[in-house]
Structure 1
Amino acid sequence: MARFIAKGAAIIGLLLMVSTPACANHYPNRKLIARQNTSPCISDDLLGRVGASNGGRKIGFVIDASFSMIDNDPNDVRLAASQALNNALVDSSEGSGGKTSDLVTVVDFASYGQLLYPLGDPSGANDVIGSITPRGGTAIGTGVEAAIEELTKTGNDPTANRTGIIVFTDGEDDPSSGIVFTIEQVKRAVDLGIRISFGFLSVDASNQNPEIVRAIVESGGIYATVDQANSQQIFVAAALANGLTGIDSSGGNGSSSLISGLATAKFLSQTGSNTFAYAAKAGETINVTVTAIDDLSLEVKLRDVQANTDLKSNTTNSTGVAFLDYTAQSNTDLEVIVSATNGSGSGIFSVGLKSSLPLSDSCNITSNITSNVTSNGTTGLPATPTASRPAQYTGGAASTVLGISANVGGFFYILSFAAAAAWL
């Protein structure tokens, strides 16, 4: 019953979104995302890419339970994000009328990975997710391994193209020697036809392992870097929109629209250029960061679409990073064009954007987590999220990590639409 109430609320939210003036899109063939006080949290770009799901998928949640999460994710946002994504899956109560229920497994990892919820109905997973507490180091590969073992064990067939793994972690393997095993397990997942997506918290350009990034992108999944725990919710929304498995959507590694607060990895197009869109609000200042993960020399251009004019350009520096800062004088559609400086090239880069504008107050929502252990050992409800923060710019800093409003609710607003779309 609670699940149907939640989905009813999601539909109401969707209707409110439709009736609210959204970001003006002067080019209907291109979906744009604006970040502004008067708009929904994010326009319908993500929702439009989710589409209806008939279920029949196997999804593994692999969640970091290392001690560092006490400081890096004190409000357990990664757990709330996992629960919200779980709510968007098709459970056994909905497995009728042409739909087949999804199956989900939950694994956490610290110094080792452990199976918490064997592959089963999504309706029973949220309590298990909410019970995860920090317990040790960071061995990412062991978590991926445990998920693969459960998703592929005898009786859980088939796997290829209908299976996905979502990983939440705050950084690198500790000890660092574990990276070899993590690479091995990520590649193993890809070989099995499992789409895998990683949300990395506070990973800078120099620490992004090209082998892991390439394997994830080749699987059709999303590799995202974020700088705050709250940004993991945007990552999950993007992963959902991209398609959790091969039967969901094209797996184009995320929208070609830029989402404030998220940097995602992309393959440089065969033609040597990639174009990304953003709808800017008058007075809004944006920072665009492009980082070459492979050995690439890149040029980044910012264009005003309406005026058909180049506004700014830059090239990657000696560390492989390029920055563009811009303040919009009026509401306008922008394009960010990334290309090889020599006119052709191939490889992986990341692109992201941050904005001076906060998310809408309507994005606020209370977390599903009923309690959590804070860094001082006390137990209580997560702090109520806020909808805004002072404008912050770090355009001169060499980092792929992007800022975002301290707003926990933005993702859930998005995901409520996704859940409604999946239900309908």
Structure 2
Amino acid sequence: MKLAPFIRASGSWRFWSVYHPTSFTPVCARRFCQSSLRPTTSSNETGARPGTAPSNPYLLVLRTPSPSSTWPAHPLVHSRFMRDLSIKLKPHGVVVNVSHDPNNKVDFFDPLNELRDGSDGSSTFLATLYRSGHQPQVVGGANSLGKLLDASIPRAKPPVRERHIYVCTHGSRDCRCGTTGKAVFTTLRSLASSLRPAYDADETPTEITVREIGHAGGHKYAANVLDFPPGDVYGSLSPNEASKFFDALTSSVEPLGVGRRSLDQERFLLSKWRGRLGLTEEEQLAFHAERTRILGRLSSEGTSTEGTMGRHRPAHPVTLNLTFETHDGKTFSISAQEGQSIMQIAKANSVDGIEGTCGGNLECATCHLYVVPPANGPEAPIPPMSETEEDMLEYALFRDDKRSRLGCQITSTKELEAWCSNGGILKLPRF
């Protein structure tokens, strides 16, 4: 897809001259300025309603050295470049936004000051392209963006360990974002900068970055926070809840969440959850209802989410060999460490057919596989299926009632290795 010629050729300077305020706070935003200065109530009082997150599958975040206090109320009106780029990308499901990047020393195009720069920015802008559950993709210029959209963006999997947290601080658009959002951003950024590196099961550090972002939708839910790579959107977060929110969000060391949070932390995050990018309103509501049901069941059983939604390796892991088979009958062996889940093993080795979008939280069926015993041989030495796993398997394509399991719920053991060596197979689905 060719974007650069479009950006250079399009745009109306007459339109630009009429809508080129450097700072403009609309009446609808000014109306709430006084209320935004009052203490913010909790989400239980304001209602961070699920199903209110944007449903667009992609988010392109342009980097600007301009601080959020200087952002115009409507960047797409202010910037011809951003407007034309947004029009071009909209058919692809891409929403264009802007983020302050004070640390980038590269002399890149500033989309909010294009007149000063004297450039159309088509070849020099820097941005990050996000898709829920996928690796963030750094974009440099329209040509690389076009090629990226024409290709398949890889799923988020090891060894990538980046977590990007954005807070809407767009004060000129709505004062609630400029006050509450700014306060929450300041706290989260401070906590992230003082946080010791988190490590996953493979001792790979997780880097957490907190940045400001433009209007993310839902001013009344300020402060709004976006978390990638999951693509989750949280709202109604008050400044005095920011520390609690950060602790809950980062207590899961993998970027997609391994489920090491307490039930209280899970419930708190769910109370702030507005939805997830790429999901329709109906899908977001269904996700929220299912998550509520799971937490309710665990609470009634007195069970912690740790261990039920994630697996841990022993202190001195043992290397095992497990046998996999592709959908077209090709078998191969993978060396894994005792205690890892099949989902973690598959993702670490880039095995096709296993995505693990939810990170092992029993929130999807994208780690679905078939556990096939040898002819006339014993069944696999794995724990019986839980009610929650059985419910999630309802979403698996081509489910086999006898052989289908979720890889996140199967732990690698010496017994499983012996079963594989005697002909047992972990068969991968086609989809």
Q: Structure 2-normalised TM-score?
A: 0.25
Q: Identify, as 1 or 2, the structure richer in helix.
A: 2
Q: Which has the higher contact order (CA 8 A, sep 6+)?
A: 1
Q: Structure 1-normalised TM-score?
A: 0.26
Q: Identify, as 1 or 2, the structure richer in strand.
A: 1
